[in-house]
């Protein structure tokens, strides 16, 4: 009995979702139907790129040793959970906020937080306001059936503001309505506002004509989601994210990862599979984390090129800095 228990605890047990992914030879990742600059967008070569896309690529690298064995399925905000529940996609990585009701009532498991976000407000400079508390009487573009709509109502009540919601389901239509002047304010996750300002301002207007107000009125931890029932696959998604964070913490990058294989640091040796055991525990190759960093990069590299100061969005790390640098990104040890 002791031998049997040791065997079970030492290696991951096969799961039906993971088995299906391996048999298919690719991961199906649900991303936002209309894309979102910096997070999930098709580039000039027709390739999906972005911070959320990199999570899908990292999971593929962990499972197959190849970050490109991913099929991306665009799903709308209303369809995304159904697509996951039905098995149409294997995972969601599309700016979805983890909440208690979603976690408990939809048959989902959220993994690690990819991006700590919060709901904000964007206005045209011509409106002449510097705070969300100055928008009394304004019309506000807001997506329907979302936590955003509920948060706006709570914010208005708490601050005794009379607001006129302009509720629209389609994100493209929301952007068009805002830039056409149908509403004074656009509210949504700050990440979406930065993305919209960087990529969707119609000429002759310019991104600098619009400002994002300082107030953040909600907690929006954006995380991938998988179905209940396959703990092994959920573990692989979660620890693929953690591997990117751990790699940044130990200064392991896509450029120096081969040199880091020679490191005498016990933690680095475990992360990169020089000291075996972590891959076996997950049920993947011992070079799973090496493959992630080599092909996708660490979390900081992904953040910088997609949404950070090296990108058109120019979002500061803020809450998404490592815990050791004042942020919330913190990975349990790979050991």
The answer for residues whose C-beta is within 8 angstroms of residue 78's C-beta and 6 or more apart is: 145, 169
Q: How many residues belong to the chain? A: 335
Which band of pLDDT confidence, cut at 50, 70 and 90, is reported for residue 12? low
- Element (DSSP H or E) covering residue 149: helix 147-158
CATH of 2-116+222-325, one of 3.40.190.10, 1.20.272.10, 3.40.50.300, 1.20.1250.20: 3.40.190.10
DSSP-assigned beta bridge partners for residue 31: 74
3-class SS of residue 14: coil
pLDDT for position 7: 42
Is the predicted pLDDT of residue 310 greater than 90, yes or no? yes
pLDDT for position 147: 79
Return residue ranges of the chain for CATH 3.40.190.10: 2-116+222-325, 119-218
Q: b vs e for 84-102, b when ≥16 Cβ sit within 10 Å of the residue's Cβ?
A: beeeebbbbbbbbbbeeeb
> What is the domain class of 119-218 according to CATH?
alpha beta
Phi, psi of 34 (to 5 degrees): -95, 5
- Structural tokens at position 304: 């910088």
Is the predicted pLDDT of residue 83 greater than 70, yes or no? yes
Long-range contacts for 124-132 (Cβ within 8 Å, ≥24 apart)?
A: 124/184, 124/209, 124/210, 125/209, 125/210, 125/211, 126/209, 127/184, 127/185, 129/213, 130/213, 130/214, 131/213, 131/214, 131/215, 132/213, 132/214, 132/215, 132/217
Is residue 174 classed exposed, middle or buried when 0-12, 13-18 and 19+ CB atoms within 10 A define those classes?
A: buried
pLDDT for position 78: 80
Averaged pLDDT for residues 110-124: 97
Neighbours of 206 (CB within 10 A): 9
pLDDT for position 14: 63
Instruction: Give the global pTM.
Output: 0.91
Is the predicted pLDDT of residue 11 greater than 70, yes or no? no
Is the predicted pLDDT of residue 5 greater than 80, yes or no? no
Is the predicted pLDDT of residue 1 greater than 70, yes or no? no
Distance CA 142, CA 258 (A): 47
Which band of pLDDT confidence, cut at 50, 70 and 90, is reported for residue 34? confident
pLDDT tens profile 263-296: 999 999 999 999 999 999 999 999 999 999 999 9
């Amino acid at each position: 009995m002791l031998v049997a228990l040791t065997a079970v605890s030492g290696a991951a047990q096969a799961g039906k979702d993971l088995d299906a992914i391996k048999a298919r030879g690719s991961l199906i990742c649900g991303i936002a139907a209309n894309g979102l600059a910096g997070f999930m967008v098709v580039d000039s070569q027709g390739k999906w790129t972005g911070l959320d896309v990199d999570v899908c690529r990292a999971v593929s690298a962990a499972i197959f040793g190849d970050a490109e064995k991913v099929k991306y399925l665009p799903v709308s905000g209303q369809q995304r959970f159904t697509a996951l529940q039905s098995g149409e996609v294997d995972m969601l990585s599309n700016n979805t906020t983890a909440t208690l009701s979603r976690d408990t009532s939809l048959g989902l498991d959220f993994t690690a937080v990819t991006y700590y976000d919060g709901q904000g407000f964007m206005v045209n400079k011509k409106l002449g306001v510097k705070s969300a508390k100055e928008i009394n009487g304004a019309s506000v573009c807001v997506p329907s059936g979302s936590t955003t709509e509920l948060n706006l109502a709570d914010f208005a009540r708490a601050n005794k503001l009379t607001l006129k919601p302009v509720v629209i389901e389609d994100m493209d239509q929301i952007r068009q309505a805002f830039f056409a002047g149908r509403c004074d304010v656009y509210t949504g996750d700050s990440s979406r506002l930065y993305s919209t300002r960087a990529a969707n301002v119609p000429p002759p207007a310019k991104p600098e004509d619009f400002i994002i107000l300082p107030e953040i009125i909600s907690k929006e931890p954006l995380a991938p989601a998988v179905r209940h029932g396959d703990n092994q696959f959920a573990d692989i998604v979660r620890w693929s994210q953690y591997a990117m964070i751990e790699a940044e913490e130990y200064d392991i990058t896509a450029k120096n990862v081969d040199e880091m294989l020679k490191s005498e640091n016990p933690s680095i040796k475990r992360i990169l599979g020089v000291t075996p055991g972590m891959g076996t525990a997950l049920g993947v190759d011992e070079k799973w984390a090496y493959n992630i960093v080599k092909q996708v990069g660490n979390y900081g590299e992904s953040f910088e090129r997609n949404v950070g100061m090296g990108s058109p969005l120019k979002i500061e790390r803020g809450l998404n800095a490592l815990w050791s640098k004042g942020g919330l990104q913190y990975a349990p040890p790979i050991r």
